[in-house]
Structures are given as structure tokens and as C-alpha cells.
Chains A and B, each alone.
Chain A
Amino acid sequence: MLLAFDWTQLAQQTVIGLSAGGLWALLALALVLIYRSTGVVNFAQGEMAMFSTFIAWSLIHHGLSYWQAFFLTLAISFAGGVALERVVIRPVERAPVLTVVIVTLGLFFLVDGAARWFWSSETRTLPNAFSTRPITVAGVAFSIQDLGNIAVSLGVVALLFALFQFTKLGLALRATASNPDESRLVGIRVSWMLALGWGLAAAMGAVSGMLTAPALASFDQNLMQPVLLYAFAGAVLGGISSPFGAVVGALLLGVFVNLIGTYVDWIGTDLRLPVALAVILGVLLVRPAGLFGRASARRV
């Protein structure tokens, strides 16, 4: 195997891995956004993204172009995320963390059920966002779709970074995440900031879903379940409290999973996730707060 080692293949597989990892990174970032402000992993994040993708499918079905539907779906998802937080999460804001986790599990079944109710369970397709024509860079052929996915993922991450770092709203969001009580004292409407976080997370999930679906031959309501698993694993690998870590973690995971799937025969598709999780467990045992997470110090 070593003799036949092919740098072209390695480069191609790395880009394919980055492309998948980029889409996981968006969902991982959505998880981190909600985790930082409420300390809860939103198990329904993937199903919400799937629901958004079905909305996009309906819009395209009614004659909109892919990108028109894309931006319209973003707006709808944002509003939907805010609404969900107001209706479902706000009543349990002060309940124990595990109670909120169970509520998001309930939300998982609810959103999944709603999607099966509104749209029949037949498989469907979404048009490609980018041309699938390959382009050649330095003798290596890449698909434009993979490069486009990477570009959009990085673009969204950059936009989000700018929002958090350079705007007053972003400052309020960060303040809410780090100290809700004192934020309330300086006049930030903490509860609405949480709702806004849910809206942003829903919109990011929507991007992830709308880019994941075209890459598949067809999709149904199970579209985002594997993506959520990888996003969760990637976010924890990078450190669930660090947005930067989540993105890097998901990208690393994407490349790693794709490369072991390509080069290690006995793993195949079945054992990819367990092997990836085992490696992550190994990393976590050395760095218990993830690669980029900071161990939280607490006064006792």
C-alpha cells in the first residue's frame, strides 16, 4: 500500500473531508452557541436543520431558484428558532440542566414528527448549489461543490465572528453567555439574547442542511441525524465552550474520518463513527476540556 501511495488522492480526500467537516462545523457552532448561553446541548439541532431544508425544498418546488430559497429559508429558520425558544425553552429556563436536555430531546421527536407529518416520507432531491464540474489545481482535480461548501462554511463562521466581536449586539450576546446576572444589571435583556442565540443557531443549522442535502443522491427526514452526531463529536473534540475550537474540531474530524475510511479497509463505513469516537475519547483523556476549551475554575 505504501508503494502505491498517491499524493493526489491524499489531497483530494483531504478536501472532501474538509468539505464534509465544514458542514459539520456549522452545526457544531450552532450547538456551541446554545451551549455557551444555557449550558445545554440541543439534541434537536439536527432535526431543526432538517426541517429548514424541507422548507427550502418546498420553496424551490414552488419555483424559486436555489439561492433565493436559501436566503428566504435562513430568515424563516431564524424566526422559527426564536419562536421555539420563546414557547418551549423559556418555561424551563430555571429548571435543572437535565430537564432542559430532556426538553430538547422532546423537541427532537416533535420536529421530526412534524416534518414527517407535513412532508411525506418519500425521498427527494435538492438542486446543487454549485457546479459539480471538477477543476484542476496543481494537477489535482477538485469538485467545485466541495470547494464551495468549504467557502460558504468559512464565510458563515467569519460573519458570525464579526457579529460577536465588532457589534454592540455581539457584545451583549457574549456578556449574556459569560455572566447573565450582571448582564441583566447593566440593562441587557438576557432572556431575549437567549432567544436570539436560538435564532442564530437555527439559521446556521439551516445553512448546514441546505448544503448537505444537494451532495446526497436523495434525502429524507433522517438527513441530519448523522451530521448531528459528527457535529457533537467535533464540538466536544474542540472544546464545547469554544466556538473556534468547535470549528477546528469538526474540520479535523471531517478529514480524519474521511482518511481512515479511505486508507484503512477493515473500518469501512460501519465502524467510522465508533473509531472516531474512540480517538476523541483518547484525546479527551489527555485534555479533558477538549483541544481548545478552557477548564472552568470554580470557587468552592
Chain B
Amino acid sequence: MPYETDFTNQGFTKVGTRVNRPDGVDKVTGRAKYGADANAAGQLVGRVLRSPHAHALITKIDTSKAEKLPGVKAVLTSKDFPDLTGGNRGLMDILENCMARGRALYDGHAVAAVAAIDADTADKALKLIKVTYKLLPHVTDVDEAMKPSAPIIHDWVRTAGVTPAPTAASNVAQRSEFGHGDVEAGFEQADVIIEKSFKTEQTHQGYIEPHACLATLGPDGSGELWVTTQGHFTFRNVCASLLGLDVAKLKVTSSEIGGGFGGKTHVWTEPVALQLSRKANRPVKLVMSRDEVFRATGPTSSTSVDVKIGAKRNGKITAATAELRYQSGAFPGMWAMFGAMTSFACYDLKNVKSVGFDVLVNRPKVAAYRAPSAPMAAFAVESVVDMLAAELGMDAVDFRIKNAAKKGTKASYGPVYGPIGIGPTLDAVKNHPHMKRKLGKNQGRGVACGFWFNFGGQTCTDLNIGVDGSVNLTVGTVDVGGSRASLALIAAEELGIDYDQVRVTIGDTNSLGHNDTTEGSRGTFSSGMATIFAARNAVEVLRQRAAATWDIPVEQVVWEAGEARAKGKQNNNLPPLSLKEIAAKSPRTGGPIAGHNEVVADGAGVSFASHMCDVEVDPETGATKILRYTVVQDAGKAIHPDYVEGQFQGGAVQGIGWALNEEYIYGDDGRLQNAGFLDYRIPVCSDLPFIDTQILEIPNPNHPYGVRGVGETSIVPPLAAIGNAVSNAVGVRMTHVPMSPPRILKAIEDGQA
């Protein structure tokens, strides 16, 4: 039965409280089971041999010596992965990324794999595999890859989105354009125009838990996969397609997840582990090393962006354009498209145009990273917004408020906004005590805004009531950020029972219908919606059971405060029946009581944030210290404020690392030079101040409680907020992220010269 998804502005007794998370004890005691924590009798160790070359033909792979090594049970190359994609190039890209097919496309690309009785044997076997490479010219820089002289990564790629369709191969996989109005006319009306180019380097999500799985696949074509993932249903579907399995015969269970941030939305070694298991007919455990995680999973794009914005003296923007060039690694992506869509989403613009170019290079296939592509676009746009405000002699916050999008604004990427939070977050920034802090010598302040779409998608949820009245809620969205606590609160709210009475389980792929991956900040939004409806479905059953017990029509039974109450004078003598009482009688009143819901949760409300940041820069070393950092973001409705704040803080911290130090460093040989946490510098605790947060609640009209996704937007403003703060501190505009100490020192010196 369909339920009404509109916001109803109901009151809450449970939602909005700060209860303990149900998985907390397991996690702090080490009892929680992550990807590498599952074991099976007779399991083998899987290992992958990877290309040391950025681009090379694989002319020969001799696995004979490895196969003869005692203890080796299976050796795989691309020959063991027949093409079952039916001409689906997207699927073929996934397969080719899992195992190179005749050509290594980046440093770290898998070329062979082994399964052996132990790690030592597997490592020895890898060394016995002889791969003959013929080196090809490579390119790792996005701007270089667009030049006509650049080596072509895939000869079958023709630039999409261009008319007439090109006939020659290109590294530009796609051109995408968004906007409206007449930008040329708009710039003519401008009193001041600022135009600037920016670069951002490639970063990795940096999750602490490496990819890990335990795969079992028998000759009968049925299998099981225990894996750390953000979306076990998606993993099941993709693995089944690549390996020719029936979807229903592959049971995928998601482990606890030690961070994903988008990087665990895609398969990397899982199809390899399953195929090793099928060949060896034994379970295979495959755990990536940190080096492999950096070299061969899915970091976000490095980018190169030009932005031009013009405004009147009165502070009104008349036109804005952006050209965004994003590399997607060795396979086509749509990351520049997202950059182009999000770049001007915060503003109410009459004339706007953004063009994205998705570019192939010899680097690992780019994957989603928390609001993928938006932070780089925001860095460029919000930097130019800051420069423009300064040029106009306006306060940078007032300038943004004057141009902020609002309800009814036609977004630069197409739709017309409903109620949105960009204006309110800017007002909150303007009035925040943070903005009144006095800045000292070598200190600077920066403000920046950010936007993310959010996503809803398919969800399927079960709610089962035990005979003791305890409730098991089974959801199919992996809990990446405290969603089990939020969903238990929602179930408790709807049923009118204690939070502790609800237990939330993440169901495996054989226990629920399809659930989309936990991505697009959809976990609490979509599973929250399905939980509301599943609970309401169960309440109907509870009312029916009470009506039957009382022998009155169900219409006379209402559900209030966790109990069935009989309405009407004729029923005055009937004492209420609690959920526990109804559950206890359920074996005799019709059997177990359950609620169920499946929904395509449309209407994920867009999300906006404004960040402010104070920094101090050491002018002699270029080192930046973050002195104070504040996040203001619209959550729609904060179901569990702790985890909303945690998302705000986590996104800000990842953005701080990205802004200041994190970057993939490639040598001239096309090899990644810093595939480890020593030289890929995510921040440590002592690098950071307390990240202050302020939650705004502008209800999403398309969710019964008003929920908007909150997980991603918080990483969008930091690059720009810190960029503006550092630029203000040193008096030179910073245009290259990360703003590492050598880059800042050089910028200061170039500025003085």
C-alpha cells in the first residue's frame, strides 16, 4: 500500500534525542566484525599481481611456474573472465578494471591473481608469474591528456555530448553543459568581472579499513560473499552480471564498514575473489594492502577549472561561467558533469553556463568521494566569489546573501528549487560569534558555501515484532554513519515504544528486496521513509489484532502512545492494549506481527551548507594552522543530532586534509609515489581544532519528517573556505589545492616579487 510522503509537521518524543548507538559497544570492544573478520573452513588467501607501469601492452603472462608451486590452488588472468557483458560497455569497464585485458592502464592495474593455502605461498606465487610488458606512452595530468598530442587511452572513445558526433578517438569522454540565459549579454552588464583558473590534485577517501572480502562460489553457480561495502545489493548485481550467475544465487552480506565515503560503492577485487573461489572450489579471503587501496581503488578526480563571474556595483551578479576539466582515471566517468551541475547551484543567476569535460588519464578509475566533484567546483567558484566581493568592497557574506538562491530560483543545473537552506545558513554565519573573533597577525578568515543534490532511490524494509514486544527492524542500507540509531528512533517514534525495544539489523541480499547503495546521503532519508511506512503497516496489523481481541470494528481502534485504544462511548469499558500485550497474544490472534515497505524514495531534498574558518599561516614556512572552524548546514530534520553533527564534522575534516596536504603524487614515470599514510597526509587529531556545528532544520517537503540527507554536503565548502582564509591571511590568492606548505611559501614569495 502506498503511503503519503509529504511533510506533515508532526510532533516528536523520540526523534531528535541523543541516544546511544546500538553498534557502539561492539565497536569499542572489538566484537564488531569488519570485512577481514570473517573466516571459513578451508579458506585460501587471495592475492593480486599489479602492473608497475602506467600504460603498457601485456604481450605475455606466463603463470606456469606459479601454478606448479605447492599450495597454489588457483591462478587467474583475464582469460578466466570471459566477456558476459552482452556489449554493455559500462560493465566491460568494470570487468577490465578488475583485471587488465591485454593492456595495463595505470600503475596498480590488476594483471593476475592467485589463491593459495597461506599468504607466504600466495606472495611467492605472485613473484613466479612472469608478465611481459611493452611500454606505451602515458599521461596522468588532466590538461595534458586533453592536448591533441596526448597518448590516447582508449581508441573506442568518442567525445559524447558534442554535435556533430566526432569520428576520431579522444581522451575527452564526455562534454556536458548546463545553464540558462545569455552569459555574453550578462557580462556586458557587469561593472566588475573576475576570471581565474584553479587546479586541485587527486585525493583518496582515506577510509581506514581496506577493502576485504570472503568469497565462496561453487561449481553449481551458487555463492556467498561477505564484504565491506556501502551497497551489498549493488555488489551482488554487478558480480552476478560479470560472472554469469543468477542474482538470487549469490548471497552478499555486508560487514561492519570502517569508512567508505563513496569508495566502497564499486567492486574492485570482489569478482576476482569469487572467480578464484570458483576455480579453486574453496573459500577465498582477499584483503587489500594499503598500497593496493591507494593504487587500485577509486580516488576522486584531479581537476583544472576556469571560472568567470561578473557583477554590478550594487553587488548583483550578472553572469557566471565555468569550464571544468576532471580526470576520471582510465575509464569514462561523469565526474565533470557533476562538477558542472553543482558549480553555481548556490546562487540565483539570470545568466549562467557551466561546461564539464570528463577526461581519461593513466590513473586508477575514479570513484565517488562524498559529494563527488562538488568540492573542486566550489573551490573555484567560491574563490572567485570572494575575490569579486573584495573588488566590489562588499562583505563576502553580504555579497553571497544578496545573490543566494531561494525558493523559486531556477537552479543553474535545471530544476526550480522548493524551500532551501542556503540563505538561512548564510544568515546564521553572519550572526555567528565565530565571525566576531578578532584576527591576529598572519591570520585570515574565509567563508564558503556548498551544495549537494542528495539521492533517494529504492528501499525495502521489514519490521518484525517479537512475542515479547521487542522489535526487529531489518533494513538493506549499509550503516555508514549511525543510521541504525536513527532508524531505531524512527521505529520507536511511530510505534510509541522505547528506543531500546528496537533492534536494527542490516539484512543480507537474500532477506530483503533490492536496496540501492548507501550513497547520495540516502541512508537515513530513504530507509527512514521506509521505516516510517513499515511501522505504520505494522500498526495497522496491531489495530486489527486489538479489534479482534475486543471484537469491535477496526475503525474504532486507534494507536496512541504505544497502545491500542478503543474509541467511542460504547467502548469505555475496554482498557488499552499495549504493544507488548498484543504481541504476547499474537500466536493465538493470527500469528507474527510484521510491517513491510518497499519504496522508491523520490524527492530527496537538496542540501546547502556555509562554512567559516580562521587560519594562521607561518609566513616563513608556509604552514597553515586551522584555528577555528564552524559548519552551518540544513539537515531538514535531525533525527539523531549527534550523528548529524558527526557528519558535519567528518566532512569538514576530510575537506581540511584535502585543502592542506592530501594529494596523489605521480612521478614522470606515471607511478604513484605516495601510496601510504606516511606521505599521503590525512590530518591527525592534533592538526585539528574542535569543529563547531550548527544544525538548521528547513523541512524537506517530500519526507514525512522533513529529513534531508546530511552526509555529503559538509565536504563541499572546506577547500574554498580554507582557500579564502589562507588567501586573506597571506594576501595572495591561492589557486592550487592542496595548499601545502611549499605551495603557500612559493605563492607568498611570487606575490612579493
Q: Do A and B come from one complex?
A: no
Residues on B lying within 8 angstroms of A by beta carbon are: none
